[in-house]
Amino acid sequence: MIITDNEEALRVKCDDVTPEEVGELVVFLEQELEHSAKLGRPGIGLAAIQVGVPKKIAIVRMGKGYSFDLVNAKIEHGYDQARFLGEGCLSFPGRIEDTLRYQEVHITGNITYPSGMILEGLPAVVAQHEIDHYSNILLPDIALPKLKQKKPGPNDPCICGKINIMTGKAIKYKKCCMNKEKENGR
């Protein structure tokens, strides 16, 4: 069962995994990830610490071509840091946060990929998330402040993106959605 909303249990120091332990732990993590999906809480990654096993191992199951295991892995280099919008975690159900993540990572020390791995995009973000778990870094620790959305001014282009078909220009907010908001009492 995946540990939820219990930071103390999720911050236990994790030990290295031996090659002999890998197979059994991977099968166990896959079963827990499948069980979570059946309960209506699908995920694409799971670290052993999230199920009470203090070991440096995690699985990533993103479908064909992007399924891999992280065993004693660490991020050697990260490139192109950017705000990642909407990161979630099975251990914090319903919590969605913006985070600062590398768009490309070079992972070393992974005993299932001894020569190292280079990941980009979402696989890189998921790998960082799972490695964070067994490094005692949790989603609340790295959550960025929420971006404030500025309400458009009356003469700004409308937020719905409508275009005047005669001129090809954006319709002004005051002539479009601003009026609809007034009618709905917002």
Element (H, E) at 46: strand 45-47
Amino acid at 146: K
Residue 121's region, left for phi above 0, alpha for psi from -120 to 50, else beta, is left
Q: Of the residues 8, 21, 130, 183, which is catalytic?
A: 130
Integer CA distances (angstroms), 74 to 40, 45, 113, 158, in order? 31, 16, 12, 45
Annotated active-site residue 130? The verdict is: yes
Residue positions annotated with a catalytic role: 130
